[in-house]
Structure 1
Amino acid sequence: MRAAAVDPLGPLRDPQEPGCDVFLTGTVFLDIIFTGLDSAPVRGTESWARGMGSSPGGVANMATALARLGLRTSLAAAFGDDHYGEYCWDALEQGEGIDLSMSHTIPGWHSPVTVSMAYEGERTMVSHGHEAPPPAGPGPFPQCPPRARAAVAALGPGRGEEWIAEAARRGSRIFADVGWDESGRWDLGALADLEHCEAFLPNAGEAMRYTRTDCPRAAARALAEKVPIAVVTMGAEGSYAVDGRTGETAHVPGITVDELDPTGAGDVYVAGFVTGTLAGWPLADRLAFAGLTAALSVQEFGGSLSAPGWPEVAHWWRTAPQELRGRYGFLDDLIPPDGAPAARRRAVPTIGFRHPA
């Protein structure tokens, strides 16, 4: 793991603390993103997109967002031994400095692929892949997740994962989001690992369905009875959080930006919130930072490689509108005064370009 230009946990680091800040596991996809579509594709017709990008996707979105914010990130995932898998491995390990020592390549297994189409402020995705076979030999994961300050998990109804409970027992703070419940039951009791979570971060639609409420704030209050911190994201309206331990609440409006591609914005939001929480920031500052990083990400396309780092945060802060400078004033203490913008890897149209002779 490489050192970041800004280390948000620098003042808190201790030789006795875990070397890993955040651990996560999941499926890595090769994402192919089309942008610049005027409308949804129409059956029986051909649509041309004005933009296209390829980048690692799936759990790579979250891992990259965490690493770009200066957190030492460890990822356990399966990679195909095809060109897509090789590209994703190199992009994450060499390009982003993510620790892949708990990941493995599977001979003969092809990489999962997602095609994402962005239009009208939303996206539609088509994916293909097969469940990864287990590693050929014994390994430390999933039975023994590494010692880490935090872990990020995606919860699913009726699906408990032993590594989450084990990570919590080892002292990791668990941050979780959740996907759409295809069963339509929306039963909080079916989220087996929710009891291990310090923070739960669903979007407004998910939160209201799980709590049978008709208001995101009411949903957050209901969820805070189940987890220490409930955060409900509300798109352009920002986010609302309740700390169930103290009763503190916070709401931070969204930031208006020119949106290109929303792929991965939710993952970037969670990464920003994890960063602020591990750094010990006030609740409202955590919401503000998470919302800012998510807003910056949608101005680029490419899921994982659209995630901002501290150079992008610094550039935004130096040109931020006056009416936002009070809310985001905490950034002054984090951003070096003379930091120069750094080139950031972005999604490319296709992979595997031949190097010039």
Structure 2
Amino acid sequence: MYLQTLQRNWEKFGREDPLWAIATVPEKFNNKWEPDEFFATGRRKVALLEKWMDANGLPRSRRLALDFGCGVGRLTQSLASLFERCVGVDIAQSMIDQARRFNRHGAKCTYVLNDFPDLRRFKSGTFDLIYTEHVLQHIHPRVSLGYVREFVRVLAPGGLLAFQAPCKLHRFEFPNTGLKAEVRVSAPFVSMEEGGRAAISVRVKNTGDHVWGKTVEPPLPMRVVVHWCTPDGQVLHPFHCSQTIPGELLPGQEADIDIPLRSPATCGRFLAVIEVVDFNEKPLPDGGCTPVVVEAAIEPSSETRENRAKAGSEADRPVMEMHALPMDVVVRTIEQAGGKVVEARSNSPRNCHTQGWYYVTR
């Protein structure tokens, strides 16, 4: 059941905003990544991995590599320049389809759906390299640690397992006073078809005493969120859309944000309630933001009944989970599975999760 839910979430991310779901830069939300720019980030990451490989003499063979949680192939495409063949696996068919479309290496690079809690598709000792980054953090530890054990199983002798997983999650702290915001919208009414989409232009003003943003000190990142409600105010879909306000916003400054609004599951009249909340999705203290209401008319879809039912499911928004794996737990899991930890290190970037990096062989 858990994997089915996880798969549904990532299927939607893959259909709606696949590049941002992989590299969640606020400024790139709502399909603003340019593919060339996006894949360049993968080349930089693989270049760092190659440097480690050259310095440590692992893996001993560069025949076959596995990119676990490959998404649209950001890392797989770069690994294909270093290995004879590469395989990318992902839980979402929508991501696999995009990866095949972006593939520039032909049969040298293949993509496979893997919706199992293990890697049963592959024999033990298959891969010379197994690489995954910013994937395990989105999977509950009771499942992700099982994948770690499987990584060791399918790793070839003399191979290299290299992966990242947060050791500790960072949580932003917000003041109890001085956080205030004003929200305005471009239009008080929107119309869309059942299962359809519409864009709402939102202007946010920082009317409080603090600078907003992840890069300021102290960091105070803020979000614009949308809740779907009935005309009498009953909340149907809380936090139906959540978008981080990009950059820094000083007191008195404004920012314009386009919100990709997706309809509730049924036709009728609804209210889209828009407000600013802190990064932890808590309301601003002391009524610091008065929500703005946009009336919405959801009309019957012109699509077939089957397509309407499929589109109606879009009312359930995808969730991007975030989990930490303590380093001692990861190392113990690797060793119990028969792996040898060559290097395990952590770093704590400012205002970010504490990251663990693991380099393992057999």
Fold shared, TM-score > 0.5 on shorter chain: no
TM-score (norm: length of structure 1): 0.26
Higher share of residues assigned strand: 2
TM-score (norm: length of structure 2): 0.25
Task: Give the greater-gyration-radius structure (CA).
Answer: 2
